[in-house]
Amino acid sequence: MLREQFPILETRIYGRPLIYLDNAATTQKPLAVIEALSDYYKTLNSNIHRGVHHLAAEATELHEQTRGKIQRFIGARNSCEIVFTRGTTEAVNLVASSFAKRFFDGDDEVIVSGMEHHSNIVPWQLTGAKLRVIPFSDEGVLDLEALECLFTSKTRIVAVAHVSNSLGTVNPVRQIVEIAHSHGVPVLVDGAQAVAHTVVDVQQMGCDFYCLSGHKMYAPMGIGVLYGREELLSELPPYQGGGEMIKDVTFEHTTYNELPFRFEAGTPSVGDTLGLSAAIDFMQQAGMATIAAYEDDLLRYATRRLGEVDGLRIYGTAAHKAGVISFLIGESHPYDVGTLLDKMGIAVRTGHHCAQPVMDRYGIPGTVRASFALYNTHEEIDAFVEALKRIAPMLM
């Protein structure tokens, strides 16, 4: 049984079984990942790339094999296009910082969507660029006609989420890439909410950069990935300086290492990388298409059943959605709903979900958000809906 591979799902909260519906924040970890991490520290711990001894060589080998595994998992052409980072946030900051150094000239514009997580807004603001924003409809669908009008001679890059963490919308990234490329502008896709829930193929998508976080795909926290198309990545200057990213260092002049090491200064998170490797094996054993179909069924079932709760409004009703449901009940505050659900053992997230512009768009302070993963069940959704039916009258 799949659920049995997740020890934390046996936890009881206030004496009730945990119902974990906060997967967009982070997914739980299967035994294979937990064991990969502890096995590394029990049997293999050593610093990689710089040792001649056996442990260092073996850890290096496994670390680098994981790079190849990720390359195949997301359909990249070459493993040198896979840069390890701490997560999506660091991946976006890396691109924003290095891309700006290389291509910005002081009067620059970046196109983002109105439904970005703050980590795909603030790094671009830090470059000094002006942000131009793709609007979205009440349903949470991006307006691609409006996108066409945002391009100017100053547009340097388009940065969009593959899946919105607050609305669940799956954005038409391939179409966005086509539009941007027709204007000669590259595209960064924030895949944090996509990669555990749908098949990702960066070559088919045509994007120039793709960012992801391991902890949202059953892997440990502290490991993430930046995919960069080789031709473009090789043009970017380093992000951080330190060990491993250099070829030769003198006090007068330093030359840099080749891709991808040029972007990986310092000791990497080797144990976490091996955890990510185990997480990819785990997902591939389940089958990405099977996971996507199962979660789509959960989403449809939950959406339908939530219609039974008086006064409940869903934010984000696009036809093409991933397993994220944001909602409010009557005039109640999301925090109150979340707190009452918690008392029944149900974990959801409340607030602006680091997407304040989305909340501003609807004129609300935040939402309650339930988000699904492959171990959630219809029974859990039933319990969630029954809990909301009990809570709703208390709050209205």
Among 29, 67, 69, 117, binds ligand 7TS (CB under 6 A): 117
Cis ω on the peptide bond leading into residue 260 (within 30° of 0)? yes
Give 355's contacts (C-beta < 8 A, 6+ positions apart): 115, 116, 117, 118, 164, 165, 166
Measured CA to CA, the distance from residue 58 to residue 156 in angstroms comes to 42
Closest distance of CB 354 from ligand 7TS, Å: 6
Among the listed residues 9, 25, 131, 144, the single contact to ligand 7TS using CB under 6 A: 25
Which range of residues in 45-53, 186-194, 229-237, 338-346 is near ligand 7TS by CB under 6 A? Answer: 186-194
Number of residues lying near ligand 7TS (CB under 6 A): 17
- The closest alpha carbon to 321, from 194, 152, 155, belongs to 194
The token duo for 149 is 């009008």
Query: CB of 107: closest distance to ligand 7TS in angstroms?
Result: 28
- Give least dist CB 97 to ligand 7TS, A: 15
Please tell me whether residue 165 binds ligand 7TS under the rule CB under 6 A: yes
**Nearer to ligand 7TS (CB atom), residue 37 or residue 189:** 189
The verdict on 207 binding ligand 7TS (CB under 6 A) reads: no
Cβ-based neighbours of 218, under 8 Å, separated by 6 or more? 27, 28, 29, 30, 33, 196, 279, 282, 283
> Least distance from C-beta 356 to ligand 7TS, angstroms?
12
> Contact 381/305 with Cβ under 8 angstroms?
yes
Can you read off the two tokens belonging to residue 236? 């970017």
- Using CB under 6 A as the binding rule, the residues of this chain from 286 to 345 that contact ligand 7TS are none
Does position 213 bind ligand 7TS by CB under 6 A?
yes
- Reply yes or no on whether 354 is catalytic: yes
Binding-residue pattern over the window 88 to 107 for ligand 7TS, x denoting contact by CB under 6 A: xx------------------
162 or 229: CB nearest ligand 7TS: 162
| DSSP-assigned states of every residue in 180-249 | HHHTT--EEEE-TTTTTTS---HHHHT-SEEEEEGGGGTSPTT-EEEEE-HHHHTTSPPSS-STTSEEEE
Do 115 and 133 contact (CB within 8 A), yes or no? no
> What positions carry a catalytic annotation?
354
User: Which residues of the chain form contacts with ligand 7TS (CB under 6 A)?
Assistant: 24-25, 87-89, 117, 119-120, 161, 165, 190, 192-193, 213, 349, 353-354
